A and B are shown apart, each in its own frame.
Chain A
Amino acid sequence: MTRYNRATGTLFVLSLLALFGASAQWLKTTERQDVAVEMQVALPRSVQVAVAGGDRHLAANIAAIRALWVDTSKMQPEQFSVLARVQEDVAWLNAAHEDNYYAAAAILPWSGELDAAQRILQAATLARRFDYQPPFYYAFNQLHFRHDPIGASRMLQDAAPFLPDPDEQLQMQNLAAIWLERAEDPDLAIRVIESLAKQATRRDFRKYLEMRAARLRSLQGLQSASETYRKRFGRELQSLDSLVEAGLISVLPADPFGFGYELAADGKVILRNSPVRKK
């Protein structure tokens, strides 16, 4: 190599180095794209199976881990519909996945994804005949969200004979009878959520469920005060503030999720602004 060529080569390398340095500095000044890392996409089932090398169990685990480790308290309503799809995919890949049906029961019905939760719980009921929980949560959702005590009771009755423990069979049949009468009982809802929270091993998830239970407890207090108001004044409540003005409660309870409570058209106090599924 001649001296001229060597000098050109060195110059070329130095100019590349300078270009790299300048571009790296330039890059530092440009803003980083802010991507919300929560649920944004649900891959087609065939792609999930392909990514797992044809192994649907592995695909189920990958999707379940993804669904379980999102921070639900930071999610937007539309992301819950993606979460619901991911969890339904897990149920399709491995209907018996315990973490999946548990998380589905704990999150989806409370986030406007009742249909998905019920499909997941139904699949888990059929795949896990030894487990009382999927039919129990299914029946609870049917009772609490769909106001369908007959459907709830039927699910419990159908699932009971398959349970391996005779005591569990009896308890489930007993519930089937009791729940026929308890379509809209906030106390039942609170206890179901508290039992889900007790089983949660992740601290943040337990906190999330406890917040949901606290919210329902406040709702229960407001509904009870509203009932007293109706009896005392002989008319329906017009605004929640009237409860404070009438001295039935000292202050309006704070909603841990920040949505608050409101009056439905029939004068009943309800939770405000549960994320509604976008069609």
Chain B
Amino acid sequence: MIHFFLSAWRAGLRSRSIQGVLLLGVVLVGVAFLSASFSPRQPKTVALDVGLSGIRLSLVLLALFWIQELVANEIQRRTVLFALTYPVPRAYFIVGRYLAIIALTALAAAMLGMLLWVAILNAGGGYQQGFAIAPGIAYWSSVVGLWVDAAVVAAFALWIASLSTVVMLPLALGLAFAFAGKSLGAVAQYLTEAAGSDATATQFAPIVEQLHWILPDLSRLDWRAWPMYSVEPAPEAVLAAVVMATAYVALMLGLAALAFGNRQFE
């Protein structure tokens, strides 16, 4: 398994499209820095807020591109067949690749996280905010939350890649999944509030409620209120979100291993 991990790790670092996405991340951190100038009272908070949104987008894109490059394209080009000649179960390939991709994503999260922090420290000029942002564990917990979010999206895309014959499908469905998972919290809240007064909301609220059985609520992995407003998330809410995410990742890896194990390569 370590072999699959290392080969993916090296390929991931070398890949050009990934460097492009990483560059996008750097640009987004730059946008976060500039966004501070739009805030009269809390420039650093707004820079942090926009920057974390940028990191989240970059991490999801990076994870999906890596799934695309290191799994979907290998299956498409049939180079995966060389990997499968090793006398190990096929599931090792899936798990090894996945671990490499989330390790690469963690590296990107650490790099973009440090870059954003430097940008925030310099954002807003010399203006002293009434309420300072919280550095240290509060900030890095939020970055870790975004990384877990990207890991869940990557696991879903990996499952799609394990059974798809269309090469772009993991990327496209992965993006749709990331969007739906992230929106779920806001949509559910909106429908719950509007239910009763709005007929359409009353009709859709139970459907969205059922969605929680198949779609993880990725917005619960967003703990940015902690560094932004020093509002600590409830420990049980963090624990529940992490357990939910881990269970979903394990489920997706299991499904991917099953699909990949039974897949016929011609």
Contact call B41/A102, Cβ cutoff below 8 A:
yes
A15: Cβ under 8 A from any B Cβ: no
Contact call B183/A49, Cβ cutoff below 8 A:
yes
Contacts of B219 in A (CB 8 A): 54, 56
Contact call A96/B225, Cβ cutoff below 8 A:
yes
Q: Which residues of A (78-126) have their CB < 8 Å from a CB of B?
A: 93-94, 96, 98-99, 102
Contact call A55/B182, Cβ cutoff below 8 A:
yes
Contact call A205/B182, Cβ cutoff below 8 A:
no
Contacts of A53 in B (CB 8 A): 57, 178-179, 182
Q: What is the CB-to-nearest-CB distance from B21 to chain A, in angstroms, rounded to a whole number?
A: 15
Choose the segment among B2-10, B113-121, B226-234 that binds chain A (4+ C-beta atoms closer than 8 Å): B226-234
A46-B190, A61-B46 known; A99-B41 Cβ under 8 A: yes
Contacts of B230 in A (CB 8 A): 130
Contacts of A50 in B (CB 8 A): 179, 183
B63: Cβ under 8 A from any A Cβ: no
A200: Cβ under 8 A from any B Cβ: yes
Choose the segment among B32-40, B94-102, B235-243 that binds chain A (4+ C-beta atoms closer than 8 Å): B32-40
B186: Cβ under 8 A from any A Cβ: yes
Contacts of B38 in A (CB 8 A): 65, 68-69
- B interface bracket (residues with beta carbon within 8 Å of A): 35 or more
Contact call B222/A54, Cβ cutoff below 8 A:
no
A52: Cβ under 8 A from any B Cβ: yes
Q: What is the CB-to-nearest-CB distance from B10 to chain A, in angstroms, rounded to a whole number?
A: 31
A199-B41, A202-B40 known; A61-B50 Cβ under 8 A: yes
Contact call B52/A49, Cβ cutoff below 8 A:
no
Contacts of A215 in B (CB 8 A): none
Residue in chain B with minimal CB distance to A103: B40
Contacts of B222 in A (CB 8 A): 57
Contacts of A127 in B (CB 8 A): 229, 231
A144: Cβ under 8 A from any B Cβ: no
Which of B41, B52, B180 contacts A54 (CB under 8 A)?
Answer: B180
Contact call B131/A130, Cβ cutoff below 8 A:
yes
Contact call B35/A61, Cβ cutoff below 8 A:
yes
Contacts of B180 in A (CB 8 A): 54
Contact call A98/B50, Cβ cutoff below 8 A:
no
Residue in chain A with minimal CB distance to B57: A53
User: Chain A contact residues: over half helix, strand or loop, or mixed?
Assistant: helix
Contacts of A68 in B (CB 8 A): 38-40
Which of A55, A93, A200 contacts B40 (CB under 8 A)?
Answer: A200
Q: Which residues of A (41-81) have their CB < 8 Å from a CB of B?
A: 45-46, 49-50, 52-58, 60-61, 65, 68-69
Residue in chain A with minimal CB distance to B225: A96
A210: Cβ under 8 A from any B Cβ: no
Q: Which residues of B (26-79) have their CB < 8 Å from a CB of A?
A: 35, 38-42, 45-46, 49-50, 52-53, 56-57
Distance, CA A202 to CA B39, complexed state (A): 10
Q: What is the CB-to-nearest-CB distance from B67 to chain A, in angstroms, rounded to a whole number?
A: 18
Contacts of B183 in A (CB 8 A): 49-50, 54
Q: Which of A55, A57, A93 has the most CB of B within 10 A?
A: A55
Known: A45-B190, A54-B178, A99-B40. 7 other contacts (CB 8 A): A56-B185, A57-B224, A58-B50, A61-B35, A68-B39, A94-B49, A201-B40
Q: Which residues of B contact A (CB under 8 A)?
A: 35, 38-42, 45-46, 49-50, 52-53, 56-57, 127, 130-131, 178-183, 185-187, 190, 218-219, 222, 224-225, 228-231
Q: Which 10 residue pairs across A and B have the least CB separation, nearest first?
A: A54-B182, A54-B183, A58-B53, A201-B40, A98-B42, A65-B38, A54-B179, A56-B186, A49-B186, A96-B229
Pairs A–B under 8 Å by Cβ, sample size 20: A46-B187, A52-B53, A53-B182, A54-B178, A54-B181, A54-B182, A55-B53, A57-B52, A61-B35, A61-B53, A65-B38, A68-B40, A94-B49, A99-B39, A99-B42, A127-B231, A130-B229, A199-B41, A202-B40, A205-B40
